[in-house]
Structure formats: C-alpha cells, structure tokens
Structure 1
C-alpha cells in the first residue's frame, strides 16, 4: 500500500475513534500492527495530522507501559478559539502551520470563506523575503493581528454577511 494512502487510512481510523470519545489512548506498536506498518508511520500521522493547530493535544509517555493520548480540544466560544489560536501562533509560525490555523477557524465557522481566502493569501510564502526566520515572524505578527481584530468584530454581523 502506498504511504500517503496508509497515512490517510490511519488518520481516518483515529478520527473515527475520536468521534466516539473526546480522547483516545493508543500504543504505537499496537496501531502499527493493526495497519501492518512501521511504528514511525504512526508517529508521522500523529505529528502531522493531530496538531494543536488542527484542534488536538497530544501527550505521550515512553517506556514499557507507554502510550500516546490524543485529545480533541473543546473550545467554548469564538472568542475563546481566537484567543487560543493567538496563543498557539506565538512569535513565529510557518506557512504550513498558518494554513492549518486558518483552516481550523474556517472549519469551526469562526471565519467566513472570504476571510479565510484573504488570510491564506497573506500567509503565502511568495509574498515574503525568503529568509525563513524573518518570514515566520512577520507571518505570525500579521496572523495574530488579523485574529485580534476579529475578536472585536460584531459576531452576528459577520455571520449575516456569509
């Protein structure tokens, strides 16, 4: 089976389990055995598909009784989500992580499709210097400022504009 396809299958399986429970505790080796893949494939899925930017917390304990716990983050309201995302962004953010933040906000109906498109354009690496350290800092400042401004917009007006 092709790696990308296996990654999608493992992600779908874990998300299906997470729909039934708010968190799932797994053993990397057991999941790898179920899907007949190497344990590092499970690490890859968890590290790329279950990030805080996508609404998940991941905890792990190493050793014989070790586990990986994936917790779906529950956000109380739009303001809470915006504040959480601003905190997550921090001082720097890559284009990939910025895209994940915007996608999560769109998926949660906190921003409109139009707002998401505009934010994604502003996050595009083609607009920056090419110096990753500078670009990630500028991208972070820009995205945090956009989200901070959304906090003070009238929520009902934005929803009506959809």
Structure 2
C-alpha cells in the first residue's frame, strides 16, 4: 500500500518505511488516532484490560487426533456472528466482548480433546457456534504444507 500510494519508489523502500514506522512507534500512534476517530478509547491499545470482557467462555475440543488440514473461514465467521461478534442484519447489535480465539491453525498438530478454538460471549448458548466450528475444522493424519506465496505479480 505504501508503494501503491506513491510514498516509496519501490517495494524495498516501502518495506523500510513500514519497518521504521513500526519500530519508532509512529504506526501505533496513528492507530490510536484511528481508534479515537471511530469513537473508541485509544487507551485500550496500551491496556487490553480496558476492552469489554465476555461473561462466559468455552473451548471447542478436537474430535480426533492428527493435524489440522483445513479451516472453513466462512463457518468461523458465522460462528463468531452467532456469539454476537457480528451482525446478522443491519439492525443487529454487536457485542464487543464476543469473539473467538483460534488456538489451532492449519498445519498444527492436535490431540483428541485438545482445545482448538476458545469462544467468548455473554450469551448462554454456545451450541450452534460450537457445531459450526467443529464442522469448519478438518483433521487428518498427515500434515498439510501451507503455501504462503502463491505467485508474484509484476508490471
């Protein structure tokens, strides 16, 4: 984005600018301004305990041992929405304390009964979200190698 926005002559310079802004704290300060401009409390950037905390949490456990071979992102997103972290309709209210913590990613080893996702909510019923998360995760006997770079686009 730095390069495409004309702030750097090439990708190497863009990477240097981004790295320097992360290192010197300028990026973090800009993020605080962004949070404040959206009506949020910029102090949460330095103190996560200021964030809303869910009254309940529950782990989703692996149904088998092996390696995580696939995670269906759409199902994970719908599960988060069911917990209150997203909107089903434009009138839906978002619960800022609700959400998911992904504990196991594609390629990770997992044992049956081990936590793969932690759900956070103020609702009493985790069932539908847990079912979707279980369906979203595929566990196989062989580790799947992850392709991080699929290709390079040049001019």
Q: The TM-score by the shorter chain falls in which range? A: under 0.3
**Structure (1/2) with the larger helix percentage:** 1
**Structure (1/2) with the larger strand percentage:** 2
Give the alignment's TM-score, normalised by structure 2. Answer: 0.26
Give the alignment's TM-score, normalised by structure 1. Answer: 0.25
Higher gyration radius (CA): 2
Greater relative contact order: 1 or 2 (C-alpha under 8 angstroms, separation 6 or more)?
2
